[in-house]
Amino acid sequence: MIRGVRGAITITSDCESDIISSTEILLREMINKNGIVPVQVASVFISATEDIQSSFPAKALRKWNEWKYVPVLSMHEMHVKDSLKKCIRIMIHWNTEKNQDEILHIYMREAKNLRPDLLP
């Protein structure tokens, strides 16, 4: 069964180092908390708000050799008035036998406000 694992994090500045390091922090937390291994992953979608333009967040995942063959897509998040700024969102499509209520979705920094109902 394919399950979606969601995560989001905000950055402080639109610079490549902040984009890559923050994305890597979020990915590691999502992967470690759920026990995800690359061979179980169908694909990863990564979106960024329109104010993030200095780098592709997917570069963070591309640094890890064991994830080389996992399809990854970067895209812009739709712009909604008064929505959270400088936010990177990730959806990992993961083959697992876990039930949906067993998946740990990770929201960090200001992105915790997006889904407070999913926080521990």
Check residue 118 and give its pLDDT. Answer: 78
Number of separate domains in the chain: 1
Would you state the pLDDT for residue 115?
87
For the chain (120 residues), the mean pLDDT of every run of 10, in chain order, is 97 97 98 98 97 95 94 93 96 97 96 84
Please give the full DSSP string across 13-34, using - where no structure is assigned. Answer: SSSHHHHHHHHHHHHHHHHHHH
Position 84 scores a pLDDT of 95
Which residue range(s) make up the domain with 100?
2-118
Q: What share of the chain is helix, strand, coil (3-state, %, to 5)?
A: 35, 30, 40
Q: State the number of CA atoms in the 13 A half-sphere of 106 facing the CB.
A: 22
Closest CA to 40 of 92, 84, 103, 109: 92
Domain CATH number, residue 85: 3.30.1330.40
